Structure 1
Amino acid sequence: MTHPPHDGQTASSPAELREQVEQTRAELGETVEALAAKTDVKTRAREKATEVKEQATVKAGELAEQTGAKAGELKAKAADLVHQAQDKLPDPIKDKAAHAAGQARTAAAQAGQLWEEKAPEPVRRTTSQGARLARDNRKLLLATAGVAVVMWLTCRRRKG
């Protein structure tokens, strides 16, 4: 232990020896810190959880973006198909469909009016607040749903 290793340098002066000792101490300190960090399971778990959370957030954002793009494409395609179908319909059927749609709007308006008249005030107020919150936080609701889907798919993939 008091002899230097055969392939190591030997100090020619006490100052060099002190410098080598300080360098060895610094390296040993770094090694001890690295080993301590590896054995700190709680911190490593927290770091891993943060990393996974960030990855899930990024993936959810990507999925939300892809879903939005795909939804836009599908909506445009559906509108195109509806127009094509409408163009092929005979006029009497178009008239009946327009009449039925008008009746449906009237029925919906009557149902809304009935709701206003018959539902207790606290229920109407709570329902109105819930609808307003959902409208105001639409992006957050969609992002949360996206994260939930990603988490569900991840758990499902791990089980399978």
Structure 2
Amino acid sequence: MTQPPQDEPTADSPEELRRQVERTRHELGGTVEALAAKTDVKARAQEKATALKEQAGTTAAHLSEQARTKAAEAAHLLEEKVPGPVKDTAAAAAVQVRARAGQAEQLWQEKAPRQVRDRRGALIGAAAAIALVCLLLRRGKK
């Protein structure tokens, strides 16, 4: 017969021997399951991919928050540094551009042919650029 392990006492009764065998089977089953899990490459790769995806999401959220904070700080610094008259001029120009854009839109809908309306975005951009150039030229003359 085989010798019992050195660290385990021998069983005194058949019932004790059955308990030892059952415990050993249970431990062996756990060991086999752990080894099987280590050899399941597909499952391990999926677990790693899930972990990396979660980490990337967390990092992206953190970086997005940092970007928002930095943008807010930059906007605040810019607002502090821009002189009051420039802010007033920019606000007045924005009001004028909005008013002229509304007038242009109304005129556009009334008179522009369909082919021209289809290219409305490019034309509005050009009109805004022209208005901006006019304002800058007017400011330079003062």
TM-score range, shorter chain: 0.5 to 0.7
- What is the alpha-carbon distance in structure 1 between the residues aligned to residue 70 and residue 27 of structure 2? 55
Alignment of 1:97-116 (within 5 A): 101=93, 105=97, 109=101, 113=105
Question: What are the superposed Cα offsets for residues 48-79 of structure 1, whole Å, 9 maximum, x if unpaired?
Answer: 11101111111111111111111111111111
Question: What are the superposed Cα offsets for residues 107-150 of structure 1, whole Å, 9 maximum, x if unpaired?
Answer: 9728x738864233xx88xx9xxxxxxxxxxxxxxxxxxxxxxx
Are 1:59 and 2:64 an aligned pair?
no
| Shift, 1:98, TM fit | 7.4
Unmatched 5+ residue regions in structure 2?
A: 122-142
2:8 aligns to what SS in structure 1?
Answer: coil
| Shift, 1:37, TM fit | 0.4
Root-mean-square deviation (CA), in Å? 3.4
- What is the alpha-carbon distance in structure 2 between the residues aligned to residue 108 and residue 48 of structure 1? 57
Are 1:31 and 2:20 an aligned pair?
no
- What is the alpha-carbon distance in structure 2 between the residues aligned to residue 18 and residue 29 of structure 1? 16
Alignment of 1:2-151 (within 5 A): 2-82=2-82, 85-86=83-84, 101=93, 105=97, 109=101, 113=105, 117=112, 118-120=116-118
| Shift, 1:7, TM fit | 2.9
* Letter of the structure 2 residue corresponding to residue 41 of structure 1: V
Q: TM-score, normalised by structure 1?
A: 0.57
Q: Which has the higher relative contact order, 1 or 2, with Cα contacts under 8 A spaced 6 or more apart?
A: 1
Q: Which stretch shows the higher mean deviation, 22-31 or 52-61?
A: 52-61
2:52 aligns to what SS in structure 1?
Answer: helix
Task: Indicate the structure (1 or 2) with the bigger Cα radius of gyration.
Answer: 2
1:12 aligns to what SS in structure 2?
Answer: coil
Unmatched 5+ residue regions in structure 1?
A: 128-160
